[in-house]
Structure 1
């Protein structure tokens, strides 16, 4: 399968990836392996009527999970089946009890839950899932070379989508905090420690909003519908991540030098 070209890390690598994205993504989408997966999904998903049928077909499940960035759960079939079967209409549904909002999004997309309408046969359903899968697969491939590039690519579309949603500002922040890639990006861009996740969630909300106000001049996530603000966010993330990686590398070299000299 075609592997994205990222000749250098950090901000220069991100700018190169942005400039060549359309060409690289088109080439990646034509990869034989990827096309084999998407063709199989198109040809077979229409026959699926239950969550059990979906998780029983590993190839269909692979595309489904990959579309929502949940490919690491491919072997957790019982867990995914429960997630899909319970749907999202009940407050105590499994998808609603998870902080990672991608599970809820996946469950809503299929409509297997009680009182929900099955969406598999709806017009545009297959194209939407396939498009998400292709995009997410490219991001994963980029991340195999540089994880920060995967997160930046993901955030480029997800932050804007979240900004334009109808939810309240606090609800948007909670969604962001429950989405691992977006959370990682904001934590780094706002220079927050990962340990912030260990404190009360309402306190986390206050810290995220205060720091966003300080760094970006706003704590309103709807403002991130502005592409320039999103790029500013991603630039800060990439630069801070590069600095952190460089510092860690230098620290490791210093330790090695000390050991050699002792």
Structure 2
């Protein structure tokens, strides 16, 4: 039996509860029987895997490998995954380098089947993959209770990675736009319509930069950490709650914003 995360409230209140109880809840989830069986099997077998073909031929190993990078839905796409892994990431024409979803690149780089010696035999390899697997699977379990919370967990993990990269400001915005979950968070937080995604990508970057400066005080995703990320999280959850028509009324949500954000930011939101 797998532990079911507890998310008793929606919106920002629910996020603060989840944040406070995260360590204990994630530990309980990881300790559940199904997760432990998956992890024990992976630890036992992965060191003997030396090729992408061997990995994709073992469904239990592949489940963990894909799950560690948020690619669970590709479990039946064995030929495609094998190609991604076999090509590696070094050559410019490698499949992982051509795909917009960089999770494939990260997975291929982690396993290293494109190298003369894969990374699967390294002493810390299983620990690294299983740590990713635990985080991703906990996010999925939380999302089964409240999808907006899964979006926030994903944002809390991925925004600091983008912020810490050496990419230019524009490239960082392009990475955000290219990630459906991150793009959803910023578009919702900034009150942008669904049609926004159909605009030319340069125009999207321009508008997101302007909205970010108006709401967060910065147009650079390098700053999407700490207090700025917390403010973005709050804006996303409040906006999401206002549009979902759930138990908190629009007036109550607006009052919460008024109490927790600056007057200038609130005037922009409403």
Task: Provide TM-score, normalisation by structure 1.
Answer: 0.88
Between the aligned partners of 1:180 and 1:116, the Cα distance in structure 2 is 34
What residue is the counterpart of 1:242 in the other structure?
241
Between the aligned partners of 1:149 and 1:89, the Cα distance in structure 2 is 35
Deviation at 1:38, TM superposition (A): 0.8
Deviation at 1:218, TM superposition (A): 1.0
**Does 2:59 match 1:58?**
yes
Deviation at 1:171, TM superposition (A): 2.1
Deviation at 1:67, TM superposition (A): 0.7
Unaligned runs of 5+ in 2: 250-270
CA contact (8 A) 1:102 1:179 kept: no
What residue is the counterpart of 1:49 in the other structure?
50
What residue is the counterpart of 1:131 in the other structure?
131
Secondary structure at 2:50 match in 1: coil
What residue is the counterpart of 1:223 in the other structure?
223
Deviation at 1:117, TM superposition (A): 5.3
Between the aligned partners of 1:178 and 1:107, the Cα distance in structure 2 is 19
Instruction: Flag the 1:56–1:164 CA change in 2: closer, same or farther, 3 A.
Output: same
What residue is the counterpart of 2:110 in the other structure?
109
Task: Provide TM-score, normalisation by structure 2.
Answer: 0.86
Between the aligned partners of 1:93 and 1:210, the Cα distance in structure 2 is 36
Instruction: Flag the 1:123–1:176 CA change in 2: closer, same or farther, 3 A.
Output: farther
Unaligned runs of 5+ in 1: 251-262
Instruction: Flag the 1:85–1:150 CA change in 2: closer, same or farther, 3 A.
Output: same
Instruction: Flag the 1:191–1:92 CA change in 2: closer, same or farther, 3 A.
Output: farther
Poorly superposed stretches of 4+, deviation over 6 Å: none
Between the aligned partners of 1:99 and 1:215, the Cα distance in structure 2 is 28
Between the aligned partners of 1:205 and 1:161, the Cα distance in structure 2 is 19
Between the aligned partners of 2:200 and 2:113, the Cα distance in structure 1 is 33
Between the aligned partners of 2:229 and 2:117, the Cα distance in structure 1 is 35
Deviation at 1:116, TM superposition (A): 6.7
What residue is the counterpart of 1:253 in the other structure?
none
Instruction: Flag the 1:187–1:123 CA change in 2: closer, same or farther, 3 A.
Output: farther
Between the aligned partners of 2:122 and 2:206, the Cα distance in structure 1 is 40
Instruction: Flag the 1:194–1:100 CA change in 2: closer, same or farther, 3 A.
Output: farther
Between the aligned partners of 2:113 and 2:217, the Cα distance in structure 1 is 42
Give runs of aligned pairs for residues 129-168 of structure 1, distance below 5 A: 129-168=129-168
Between the aligned partners of 1:38 and 1:45, the Cα distance in structure 2 is 10
Over the residues paired in the alignment, what is the CA RMSD in angstroms? Answer: 1.9
Deviates more, 1:167-176 or 1:213-222: 167-176
What residue is the counterpart of 1:208 in the other structure?
208
What residue is the counterpart of 1:258 in the other structure?
none
Deviates more, 1:181-190 or 1:89-98: 89-98
Between the aligned partners of 2:76 and 2:97, the Cα distance in structure 1 is 21
Instruction: Flag the 1:54–1:192 CA change in 2: closer, same or farther, 3 A.
Output: same
Instruction: Flag the 1:91–1:145 CA change in 2: closer, same or farther, 3 A.
Output: same
